[in-house]
């Protein structure tokens, strides 16, 4: 059984393989099976997720829930049940979870009730298990909740999405298009991503922010494709993108703040200026959110709706796959260097 | 018939009587009555309102809907119907309205359908007609909508309200207390207002901001009465108050932005820095709003609920009354000099 540990906090800069330790321990399946207590389940991970939000947890005190150096990194993972004494779980069931990133996890009934582990739907098999960390997991619930319940689009409205080629941004745009016929404008880094976003994801427009030097230039580029401004902005990156969106936001406009990736490798997270006065007379809203309400089923009906959207082709899955647990640090790095399109998946 | 006109735009500073003109015109009631077209109504104003939002409309181009120098100022007013050829209005009906501030107004059926004029409930008479520009008018609907639908309080949450002795702030605090048993903290200018807010309005705590020199001092004063922070902030003033509230806002905290009165006499409206990153992990929301959705009945049920709240004593009416249309500029000034408590009413 293998696991990933953070060696020490990384206050700034891009973390690399040198900051992580892959630890191997002996695991005796037969012995574990014999000793399995009532209500316990053995989970075998098939994929690990690498997500931008983890970067902030690698800074001491930067987050309410920082990682602890030397302990196994807690993150999103998906796999299959290989043993169960729990009525709710059968051998062969596919699961998604937020757990310490370990290839084998034994959870007692009590530990299970305190952990975030959900059953994946019948469309899942060994080949598409990565959906459990993607469209049917954290990024999927982020896109679903952030679009449907935070931004609450009206038919035909205009939405701007940053990191549009990423795991969350792509899904947001596809849902906005397929469910609500929005005019969808994405921003992403590089011409191949522009093509992906337009051709495969079906966005109406895509802006290559690598050709953009300033907030003013971004505003001009947006005005070209949305002369009347934007009704919604789904913010994955912060900085210049957020400032331009605030400038272009129309009456009754909404901004969902999901990520601030431009700052994640910096020591301090930047403040952004806003105009409270403009927010009054335009009746605008800015809302920060986390996916947990939708992922645990407190809001909306993500676990029922999203598999349908996948089956009906309302969303297309895009992934960048890294092979082997040892590649996790590289997969994580790719989130910050633009090395990925869609969901970063580490097959373990 | 008398009316109030703005002489010229006032880009900055405190407007005074020298900026307004009270115009008198001859009005022949009998002749108007004879010439009254079908569906027309004659309204006689009994009170005019003076409200802070008008200040921004006195700056050219500062607002989507600026006042026009030389034309009658459009504002809130209430009074009684003195003639009607319209099935929906009877002589003696009390009304509230947003109309050019003129003591007599004749509206055709078509003009009526395009104007904001609402019928006041049966509790209204000549003595309490000012409720039509207060608790049952614009400030009432602002407090109602901003509290109930924008902030959406949970039982027992902590709310901070600036300009707590003013027309809107006082109502917000009373509703938060009487409907939702919130812990209510107000800020106001001066010890007599502190007493009013605590003794008459029933706030749990009141801070005299005139004793506060900086954002840091305000944060310290708030921490004393709300050591665990605030769940909601109802912003009437902006500036230091808004910045302190952003600092103290708890997980799932909400800010309703209603006014920015600290800036209204300035040429430019200030920006305020916020932390998008904090808004994500604390799932916070900032929302600007106008009362119109509730005042026209598009959201909530203000015109049914608020008279009940008045009858049941859930809100108490506080007013500062100015006599005569000529005193309108002084009433307006008092909003910025702290000369009023509760609603500023000009009896005409």
Q: How far apart are CA B189 and CA B285, in angstroms?
A: 27
Ranges of residues in chain A with a pLDDT under 70 are 62-64
Q: Which of B56, B238, B287 sits opposite A285 (nearest CB)?
A: B287
Q: State which residue of chain B sits closest to A53, comparing Cα positions.
A: B281
Residues of A in contact with B151 (CB under 8 A): none
Q: Nearest CA to CA, how far is B238 from chain A (Å)?
A: 7
| 3-class state of residue A246 by DSSP | helix
**Contact residues for A317 (Cβ-Cβ < 8 A; gap 6+):** A128, A131, A134, A135, A310, A342, A343
Chain A residues whose C-beta sits inside 8 Å of any chain B C-beta: 56, 63-64, 235, 238, 242, 257-260, 263, 269, 271-290
B284 and A287 within 8 Å at the Cβ level: the answer is: yes
Averaged pLDDT in 10-residue chunks for chain B of 348 residues: 95 95 94 95 98 91 78 97 97 98 97 97 97 98 98 98 97 98 98 97 98 97 98 98 98 97 89 96 97 97 98 96 97 94 96
The predicted structure's pLDDT at residue B131: 98
- CA-based torsion, B142, B144, B145, B150: positive or negative: positive
SS3 of B170-208: the string is HHHHHHHHHHHCCEEEEEECCHHHHHHHHHHCCCCEEEE
| H or E segment to which residue B54 belongs | helix B54-57
Residues in chain B with CB shorter than 8 Å from the CB of A257 are 276, 279-280
The pLDDT assigned to A274 comes to 97
Distance CA B33, CA A313 (A): 67
Taking the CA atoms of B193, B197, B199 and B204 in sequence, report the sign of the dihedral they define: negative
Task: State how far the Cα of B41 lies from the Cα of A140, in Å rounded to an integer.
Answer: 57
**Maximum pairwise Cα distance, chain A:** 67
Å between A142 CA and nearest CA of chain B: 12
Q: Which of B238, B272, B283 sits opposite A288 (nearest CB)?
A: B283
Taking the CA of residue B134 and the nearest CA in chain A, the distance in Å comes to 20
ipTM entry: 0.95
Which chain B residues contact residue A282 at CB under 8 A? 288
CA atoms lying within 13 Å on the CB side of residue A288: 23
Cβ contact A258–B280 (<8 Å)? yes
Tell me whether residues B286 and A282 touch, CB distance under 8 A.
Answer: no
B276 vs A63: CB contact, 8 Å cut-off? no
Q: Which residue of A has its CA nearest to B289?
A: A283
Q: Cβ contact (<8 Å) for B276 and A289?
A: no
How far is A324 from chain B, CA to nearest CA, in Å? 31
Task: Say yes or no for a CB contact (<8 Å) between A277 and B260.
Answer: yes
The contact set of B with A (CB < 8 A) is 56, 63-64, 235, 238, 242, 257-260, 263, 269, 271-290
pTM of the model as a whole: 0.96
Residue A239 to chain B, least CA–CA distance (Å)? 9
Q: Which residues in chain A have their CB less than 8 angstroms from residue B238's CB?
A: 276-277
Query: What's phi and psi for B106, nearest 5 deg?
Result: -105, 125
CA distances from A2 to A15, A19, A82, B304 (A): 20, 17, 16, 64
Q: CA of A220: how far to CAs of A213, A224, A245, B60, B89, in Å?
A: 11, 6, 11, 26, 52
Q: Give contacts of B284 with chain A, Cβ < 8 Å.
A: 287-288
- Best B149, B168, B288 member to test A by mutation, with max A CBs in 10 Å, is B288
Residue among A61, A138, A280, A293 with most chain B CBs within 10 A, to mutate: A280
What was the pLDDT predicted at A64? 64
At residue A297, the pLDDT reads 95
Q: Point out the residue among B260, B277, B282 whose CB comes nearest to the CB of A276.
A: B260
Look at A257 and B242 and tell me if their CB atoms are within 8 Å.
Answer: no
Nearest CA distance, B278 vs chain A (angstrom): 8
**Angle (deg, nearest 10), helices A302-311 and A167-180:** 80
A272: β partners:
B274
Q: Which of A276, A278, A279, A287 is the best residue to mutate to test the B interface, defined by the most B CB atoms within 10 Å of its own CB?
A: A276
Rg (CA), chain A: 21
Give the rounded distance of the alpha carbon of B203 from its chain centre: 19
Are A287 and B281 within 8 A, CB to CB? no
What phi and psi values does residue B208 have, to the nearest 5 degrees?
Answer: -85, 100
Give the nearest chain A residue to B262 (CA atoms). Answer: A277
Cβ–Cβ below 8 Å for A280 and B257 = yes
């Amino acid at each position: 059984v293998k696991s990933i540990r953070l060696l020490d906090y990384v206050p700034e800069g891009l973390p690399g393989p040198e900051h992580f330790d892959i630890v191997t321990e002996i695991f005796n399946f037969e012995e574990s099976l014999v000793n399995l207590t009532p209500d316990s389940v053995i989970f075998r991970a098939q994929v690990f997720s690498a997500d931008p939000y983890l970067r902030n947890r690698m800074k001491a005190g930067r987050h309410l829930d920082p990682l602890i150096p030397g302990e196994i990194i807690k993150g999103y993972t998906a796999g299959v049940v290989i043993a169960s004494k729990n009525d709710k779980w059968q051998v062969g069931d596919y699961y998604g979870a937020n757990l310490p990133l370990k290839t084998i996890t034994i959870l007692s009934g009590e530990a299970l009730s305190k952990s975030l582990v959900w059953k994946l739907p019948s469309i899942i098999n060994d080949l598409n298990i990565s959906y459990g960390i993607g469209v049917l997991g954290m990024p999927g619930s982020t896109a679903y909740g952030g679009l449907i319940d935070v931004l609450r689009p009206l038919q035909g409205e205009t939405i701007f999405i940053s990191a549009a080629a990423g795991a969350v941004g792509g899904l947001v745009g596809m849902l906005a298009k397929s469910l609500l016929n929005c005019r969808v404008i994405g921003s992403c880094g590089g011409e191949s991503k522009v093509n992906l976003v337009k051709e495969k994801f079906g966005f109406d427009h895509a802006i290559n922010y690598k050709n953009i030097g300033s907030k003013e230039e971004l505003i001009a580029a947006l005005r070209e494709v949305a002369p009347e401004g934007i009704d919604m902005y789904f913010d994955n990156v912060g900085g210049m993108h957020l400032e331009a969106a605030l400038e272009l936001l129309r009456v009754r406009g909404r901004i969902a703040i999901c990520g601030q990736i431009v700052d994640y490798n910096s020591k301090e997270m930047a403040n952004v200026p806003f105009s409270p006065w403009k927010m009054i007379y335009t009746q605008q809203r800015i809302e920060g959110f986390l996916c947990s309400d939708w992922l645990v089923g407190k809001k909306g009906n993500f676990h029922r709706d999203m598999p349908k959207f996948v089956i009906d082709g309302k969303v297309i899955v895009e992934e960048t796959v890294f092979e082997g647990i040892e590649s996790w640090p590289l997969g994580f790095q790719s989130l910050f260097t633009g090395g990925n399109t869609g969901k970063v998946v580490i097959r373990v």
